[in-house]
Amino acid sequence: MKSTGLLIAAVVLAALTGTLYWSDHHKAADATTTPVDAPPKIFTLKDSDLSKIAIKKKGAENVALARDNSGKWQITAPIMLAADQDTVSSMTSTLSSLSSERLVEDKASDLKQYGLTDPAMEVDVATKDGKSQKLLIGDDTPAGNAVFAATSGDPRVFTIASYTKTSIDKSPNDLRDKRLLTADFDKISQIELTAKKQSIEFGRNKDAWQILKPRPLRADNFTVEDLVRRLKDAKMDLAAAESDEKKLAASFASATPIAIAKITDAAGTQELQVRKSKNDYYAKSSAVSGVYKVANDLGTGLDKNLDDFRNKKLFDFGFDDANKVEMHDGSRAYFLTKGGADWWSNGKKMDDSSVQSLVDKVRDLASSKFVDSGFTTALIDLTITSNDGKRTEKVLISKSGDNYIAKRENEPSLYQLDSKPIEELQKSAADVKPAPEANPAATGKAAQAPKK
């Protein structure tokens, strides 16, 4: 009985082992074998090998593109135009690895039923080795979420997704470069803006902008960068109802001048003129021919005066840590020095939060407007050292009626301030206090003041 049981167990074990081997073998095969009914590829090309594309569509202008000697795409038909490289790249990416959704017929005998005898769209794709292929796109499928497609010389009929067709079906306006200024904005060194009867010149030193004309002034870097962004994003409104060239030119000629902007990079200078007619803005650029309607925010973004671009902050240390604060307010004087993570005054460790509140009030000091006169005897003398001692800024503040007038050392500009921020500054200075005394026995040893 025992031998019979052992024999049965051995047979069962062998059967299970065989079944397991067969199962694992076929799983591995299934994982590496492409299903017979997998949707076939239509084109398998390298995007970088594409050299020409021609799109022929019923009831629309034929579009042709070609790479120039530098490898950039250009529109060559219906007229020569600069192409938007990102838009064309998206289209070529779709074409170079074009996949079908399913194979409808392996050997179609009647292409007419799919709308492929006289297709709605033909796309000719040529590679730099001189070879070409033609994609035919026909009718929508009955479900409406795909279209029938074939390639010239291939008897097979496929379907491709409707969104795939949309990514290929592009007009000249879709593909053209709509920028009004084509300069390299990462390398712009100078901007000139004429607006509100003022001419302003900006110069860039690394990432910081300065006002050079009408006279050297501190610039609000954020505002100048916003101007740069608006000029970079200035584009033709090709969807505008008014598209007749003569009408656009006439509208521009009769419109009110708003601004003229000139930008300079390593390649030279480009100019953009913006004008307003009623509620519409029009632009003309030296970089492209013609007059175009533009977005209203371009016009409003350029319609600024000198003071809009000036830096209203009294101090430049911004988010840098302050290292020293020296403040004279009438008979009161404050001397604060940072050593490590602690603030000290006359050898005493100070309460960090109270000093930081004072530093924040100094950092936030900003003018309400710029004035030409009004500074008298200084009531407050404020010096801030920051950037590990590399930057020292001194500001003098005097009283002027209900307001205050401030000036930075060695600068002619005068800044008018409201009374509230000065009162808050004075209160924060008065609230600076020593840190609670530490117990040397509890902390191990007393903290040491920084060397002067």
93, 46 in Cβ contact below 8 A? no
Only one residue has tokens 């001419």, namely 199
Nearest-angstrom CA–CA distance, 220 and 309: 6
How is residue 79 written in tokens? 């007229």
Q: Tens of pLDDT along 122-181?
A: 999 999 999 999 999 999 999 999 999 999 999 999 999 999 999 999 999 999 999 999
257, 275 in Cβ contact below 8 A? yes
Residue 3 clears pLDDT 90, i.e. is over it: no
Runs of H (alpha helix) within 65-144: 85-96
Nearest-angstrom CA–CA distance, 295 and 248: 15
292, 248 in Cβ contact below 8 A? yes
Residue 243 CB neighbours (<10 A): 13
Residue 208 clears pLDDT 80, i.e. is over it: yes
Cis peptide before 450 (omega within 30 of 0): no
SS3 of 346-385: CCEEECHHHHHHHHHHHHCCECCEEECCCCCCEEEEEEEE
Nearest-angstrom CA–CA distance, 126 and 45: 10
pLDDT at 11: 47
Helix (H, G, I), strand (E, B) or coil at 228: helix
pLDDT at 207: 80
Q: Work out the pLDDT band at 444, boundaries 50, 70, 90.
A: low
Nearest-angstrom CA–CA distance, 254 and 340: 65
CA dist 170 to 31, 61, 178, 212, 359, Å? 39, 10, 14, 45, 57
Lowest mean pLDDT among 182-191, 235-244, 261-270, 435-444: 435-444
Cis peptide before 40 (omega within 30 of 0): no
Q: Using CB atoms within 10 A of its CB, is residue 160 exposed (0-12), middle (13-18) or buried (19+)?
A: buried
Helix (H) or strand (E) holding 221: helix 221-232
Nearest-angstrom CA–CA distance, 77 and 192: 36
Runs of H (alpha helix) within 261-410: 296-302, 306-309, 352-363
Averaged pLDDT, 432-449: 69
Q: Given CA atoms 208, 214, 220, 225 in this order, what sign does their dihedral have? A: negative
Q: Tens of pLDDT along 294-343?
A: 999 999 999 999 999 999 999 999 889 999 999 999 999 999 999 999 99
Averaged pLDDT, 429-446: 76
Nearest-angstrom CA–CA distance, 281 and 31: 60
- Domains with residue ranges and CATH for the chain: 47-175 (2.60.40), 185-309 (no CATH), 322-430 (no CATH)
pLDDT at 243: 66
pLDDT at 449: 60
The pLDDT mean for the chain works out to 90
DSSP codes joined into one string, 148-202: EEEETT---EEEEEHHHHHHH---HHHHB--BS--S-GGG--EEEEEETTEEEEE
Describe the strand order of the beta sheet including 322-329 as a list of residue ranges.
348-350, 342-345, 332-339, 322-329, 378-386, 391-400, 403-408, 414-417, 369-371
pLDDT at 32: 40
194, 234 in Cβ contact below 8 A? no
What pTM value is reported for the model?
0.80
Residue 438 clears pLDDT 90, i.e. is over it: no
Give bridge partners of residue 194 from the DSSP assignment. 199, 260
Only one residue has tokens 């017979």, namely 36
